[in-house]
Amino acid sequence: MAGRPFSLCDRIVLAFTDRMWYTKKHTVFRGKGDRTLQFIKRFRVGQRAIKTAISVGLALALAMVLGSSLPIFAAIGAISVMSRTWVDSLKESLNQIAGTFLGYLIACVFVTVLPNPTFFVWMALGVLCVISLCIGLKLNFAIPLASIVFADVCLYTGGDSIVYGFHRFTDTLVGLVVALLVNVVIRPYNNRQKIINMMNEIQKMFLPLLQSRVLEHRYPDLTPLTERMTSLASELRIFEKQPVALWQHAVRVAARRQEAAYLRGCEQLLAKMCGELAALCNMDSNPAPGEKSIERLTAHGLTAPENLKDYCQCSPVDAQVMDFHIGNLLDAYDFLTAFHHV
């Protein structure tokens, strides 16, 4: 019994295990699924994890070069803002900088005014102030790091707490900047293929829904379709804002704009199809489609019942309205299909 080709994960396992045992196990469990392989695949390392690890290493190294006595804050800053896109990382970096500085300022007030800022009651009240101010200033994402900076500065007893807190703030700033640069330079997030796959999946949903509504006279649930369209719009916004790699900037900017326009055009066609399908689902009556509409539906692989017109007794106006929406939907469907093959 021939086994399926080894994937990258399979090759990694073969490199660290006995080849004969694994090959035999791989063949035996080919039909049922190799539980060991599935378990190992749970721990796959993604692009974001790799960039986070690189950011932490570079942030620690840079903080040490700059003479930091506690470079761990640079690592914390790098970890806290690593997101899948450069735009998200920039927003989170600005959020963290403002929140961290706020935590540092509150700590400076506490160590200056209070005789014993390390007292647990003052610490609890200080953390409460940090959280309240962060929420009020819409810096919710920065609450953990701001609270850590506040507590660390208040608990410091080895010298000038204000100077110490400023150094911790700069260490955190180093980590934030390093993570932001790494997210831009090292393989920026590109969700183009994901968007295309989502569009193909959404387009495949229309014909079964059209069969159900027009030929079977049922009212299908459009919620899954609406949710996928919302996710598609979100991914498109990310694609349009995400920059290309710096070394490809000169040759890829124009191509990225063309790709964004193409994907946006496909999304608008899908949105038009959603609108036409929603109009069909909002009809109270169930007229039979015209012969031309039935021919087009049949050409797309749909099956019309033989006695369709026998139990569809509606006004001619309703039938014309249904044919109008069916025609518009299929026109957009065909245009999108042709658009994909250009």
String of b and e for 42-81 (b: at least 16 CB within 10 Å)? eeeeeeeeebbebbbebbbebbeeeebeebbbbbbbbbbb
Number of domains observed in the structure of the chain? 3
Domain hosting 27: range is 8-41
**196 and 180: one domain?**
no
Please check whether residue 2 lies inside any domain of the structure: no
**80 and 36: one domain?**
no
Asked if 72 and 137 count as a contact pair (C-beta separation under 8 A), the reply is: no
**143 and 164: one domain?**
yes
Rounded CA separation 295/278 (Å): 22
Q: What is the C-alpha end-to-end distance of the chain, expressed in Å?
A: 42
Please check whether residue 247 lies inside any domain of the structure: yes
Residue 273 is predicted with a pLDDT of: 93
Q: Give the residue among 236, 240, 212 at the shortest CA–CA distance from 224.
A: 212
Tokens in use for 339?
Answer: 């658009």
* H-assigned helices in 66-160: 72-80, 86-113, 120-136, 143-155
Q: Which of 131, 154, 185 is the last residue of a domain?
A: 185
Residue 245 is predicted with a pLDDT of: 54
**138 and 222: one domain?**
no
Please check whether residue 266 lies inside any domain of the structure: yes
**57 and 159: one domain?**
yes
**221 and 247: one domain?**
yes
Please check whether residue 313 lies inside any domain of the structure: yes
* Residue 162: its H or E element: helix 161-185
Residue whose pair of structure tokens reads 């379709």 in the numeric block:
225
**116 and 217: one domain?**
no
For residue 328, what are the contacts with CB-CB under 8 A and spacing of at least 6?
Answer: 272, 276
Please check whether residue 1 lies inside any domain of the structure: no
Q: Which of 185, 216, 236 is the last residue of a domain?
A: 185
Q: Give the residue among 44, 288, 66, 15 at the shortest CA–CA distance from 171.
A: 66
Please check whether residue 3 lies inside any domain of the structure: no
Asked if 176 and 140 count as a contact pair (C-beta separation under 8 A), the reply is: no
Residue 120 backbone class (left: φ over 0; alpha: ψ -120 to 50; beta: rest) = alpha
Asked if 220 and 281 count as a contact pair (C-beta separation under 8 A), the reply is: yes
> What is the length of the chain?
342
Q: Give the residue among 214, 213, 235 at the shortest CA–CA distance from 222.
A: 213
Tokens in use for 6?
Answer: 């080894």
**26 and 77: one domain?**
no
Residue 243 is predicted with a pLDDT of: 64
Residue 319 is predicted with a pLDDT of: 83
**24 and 120: one domain?**
no
For residue 18, what are the contacts with CB-CB under 8 A and spacing of at least 6?
Answer: none
* Tens of pLDDT, residue by residue, the chain (342 residues): 344 444 444 444 344 444 443 444 444 444 444 666 676 667 767 777 888 888 899 999 999 998 888 888 899 888 888 777 777 777 888 888 888 899 999 988 888 888 776 677 888 888 999 999 989 988 888 888 889 888 888 888 777 888 888 888 899 899 988 988 888 777 667 788 889 999 999 999 999 999 998 888 888 999 999 999 999 998 888 888 776 555 455 446 677 778 888 889 999 999 999 999 999 999 888 888 888 888 898 898 888 777 666 656 677 788 888 899 999 999 999 998 887 765
How far from the centroid of its chain's Cα atoms is residue 35's Cα?
Answer: 28
Q: What distances in angstroms separate CA 256 from CA 95, 180, 252, one per listed residue?
A: 28, 21, 6
**234 and 204: one domain?**
yes
Please check whether residue 112 lies inside any domain of the structure: yes
Residue 341 is predicted with a pLDDT of: 63
**15 and 103: one domain?**
no
Q: Which of 185, 218, 245 is the last residue of a domain?
A: 185
Q: Tally Cβ neighbours within 10 Å of residue 223.
A: 8
**279 and 335: one domain?**
yes
To the question of pTM greater than 0.85 for the whole model, the response is no
Please check whether residue 172 lies inside any domain of the structure: yes
